[in-house]
């Protein structure tokens, strides 16, 4: 997450979805070893006169990344997930290994998950969960759902990958792909998902096409809740969330969630920056997630699509409602600020071009294809990176 201060103009450029940019300061607290932030491969320094990829709640610069790694992928069966007591989730993994000479390297992992009670005195209880969902105007609306979840669940540990400089997004994606038995290095993922040359990190718009090329599917959601993350983990799906690093460290960050524990009161992440088995309390999790539309990414085999959709529906997430709220927020963000410096920057062609990318993405998710095409034209005329424009354009029918 790149933070640049231009004191003369009083302008603060902060990356949000393009995470993790810049040299991160030492975190206040960590659970596990803090990986080195040495770029490998090296990333070129940003051109500050050409900064401004607005992909979330902030800005990201544009530069050139080094060539991709050439490490050959290794395919193995996905790891078996476990659930801590008192409620066990049994997982049976079946991996198809039949291949032809023209077969894709990615394989669908057919996974059947069934939840059973460990004992009659320790069965999970159906809970009425009322969750505050932060909408685009800064107020909260109540979402009430009836979900039947274990008090704790774990998929891991996921195979921990220590991120290179600003590479939390590709490292998180690589960890989740490894879980499903598709082995890629973070450098190989970076070569695809940071092909826009953004030195501040990864934007999510290239994830769908990349996952499809690997024979996988993906949901990129906004307006998520803790209960939805819990439900997905309990059903066997790791979830990548886009947040700050911590309440004290306000840099955008991607991290995969592999477990939760109601008794401890928090989530567990195989965090590419803060280390494996990183614990985040529910209170801190919500605070650092509210900063970026509560975005989440679920990567899964196509054979598990029905399970993902059923899990999200049961936990109360609705794509149309959440994306309409986010679209309203993106439209409001195009309104000039009162500050002279901010208004001049926000009204520039470059800034408006990247704001239009956000509009195009939300319109695409809502099926507003003509509007999305118009927003992409605005983005292109506003000097948005053509790679990112194409990521969204190629998803249009």
Q: Return the pLDDT at 51.
A: 23
Residue 357 lies in a domain: no
Is residue 143 in some structural domain? no
User: Which domain CATH number covers 46?
Assistant: 3.90.70.10
pLDDT, residue 128, reads 32
Q: Does residue 297 sit within a domain?
A: yes
**Buried/exposed 345-368: b ≥16 CB within 10 Å, e otherwise:** bbeeebbbbbbbbbbbbbbbbbeb
Q: Are residues 243 and 324 in contact, defined by beta-carbon separation less than 8 angstroms?
A: no
How much is the pLDDT for 129? 32
pLDDT at residue 383 in the model: 86
* Greatest extent of the chain over all pairs of C-alpha atoms, in Å: 66
- Does residue 179 lie in a domain region? yes
Are the C-beta atoms of 259 and 164 separated by less than 8 Å?
A: no
Q: What secondary structure does DSSP assign to 49-81, as a single string?
A: GG----SSSS------BPPPP-PPP-B-PPPPP
Residue 243 lies in a domain: yes
Q: Does 127 reside within a domain?
A: no
Q: How many domains does one find in the chain?
A: 1
The reported pLDDT for the residue numbered 68 is: 33
H-helix or E-strand spanning residue 128: strand 126-134
Mean pLDDT by runs of 10 across the 397 residues of the chain is 35 41 37 36 30 30 30 37 37 33 37 34 32 34 61 95 97 98 97 93 96 98 97 98 96 97 98 97 96 93 97 96 95 67 48 82 98 95 92 97
pTM of the predicted model as reported, rounded to 2 decimal places? 0.68
Residue 395 covered by a domain? no
Residue 370, in any domain of the structure: no
Enclosing domain of residue 186: 3-70+152-333
- Alpha carbon distances (Å) from 350 to 33, 100, 177, 335: 39, 47, 34, 15
């Amino acid at each position: 997450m790149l933070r640049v201060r231009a004191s003369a103009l009083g302008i603060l450029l902060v990356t949000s979805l393009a995470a993790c940019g810049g040299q991160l300061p030492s975190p206040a607290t960590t659970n596990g070893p803090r990986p080195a932030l040495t770029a490998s491969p090296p990333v070129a320094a940003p051109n500050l006169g050409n900064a401004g990829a607005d992909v979330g709640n902030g800005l990201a610069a544009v530069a050139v990344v080094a060539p991709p790694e050439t490490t050959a992928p290794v395919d193995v069966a996905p790891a078996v997930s476990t659930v801590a007591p008192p409620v066990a989730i049994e997982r049976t993994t079946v991996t198809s290994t039949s291949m032809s000479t023209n077969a894709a390297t990615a394989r669908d992992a057919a996974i059947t998950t069934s939840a059973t009670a460990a004992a009659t005195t320790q069965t999970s209880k159906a809970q009425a969960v009322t969750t505050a969902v932060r909408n685009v105007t800064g107020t909260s609306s109540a979402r009430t759902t009836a979900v039947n979840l274990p008090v704790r669940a774990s998929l891991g540990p996921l195979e921990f990958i220590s991120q290179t400089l600003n590479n939390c997004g590709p490292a998180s994606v690589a960890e989740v792909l490894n879980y499903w038995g598709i082995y890629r290095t973070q450098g190989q993922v970076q070569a695809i998902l940071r092909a826009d040359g953004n030195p501040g990190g990864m934007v999510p718009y290239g994830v769908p096409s990349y996952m499809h090329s690997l024979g996988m599917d993906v949901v990129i959601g906004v307006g998520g809740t803790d209960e939805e993350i819990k439900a997905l983990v309990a059903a066997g799906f790791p979830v990548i969330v886009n947040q700050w690093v911590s309440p004290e460290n306000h840099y955008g960050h991607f991290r995969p969630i592999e477990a939760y524990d109601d008794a401890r009161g928090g989530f567990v992440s195989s965090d590419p920056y803060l280390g494996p088995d990183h614990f985040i309390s529910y209170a801190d999790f919500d605070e650092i997630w509210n900063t970026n539309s509560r975005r989440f990414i679920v990567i899964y085999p196509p054979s598990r699509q029905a399970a993902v959709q059923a899990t999200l529906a049961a936990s109360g997430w609705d794509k149309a409602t959440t994306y309409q709220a986010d679209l309203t927020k993106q439209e409001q963000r195009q309104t000039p600020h009162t500050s002279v410096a901010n208004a001049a920057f926000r009204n520039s062609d470059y800034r408006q071009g990247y704001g239009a990318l956000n509009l195009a993405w939300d319109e695409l998710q809502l099926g507003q294809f003509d509007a999305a095409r118009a927003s992409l034209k605005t983005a292109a005329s506003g000097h948005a990176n053509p790679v990112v424009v194409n990521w969204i354009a190629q998803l249009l029918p």
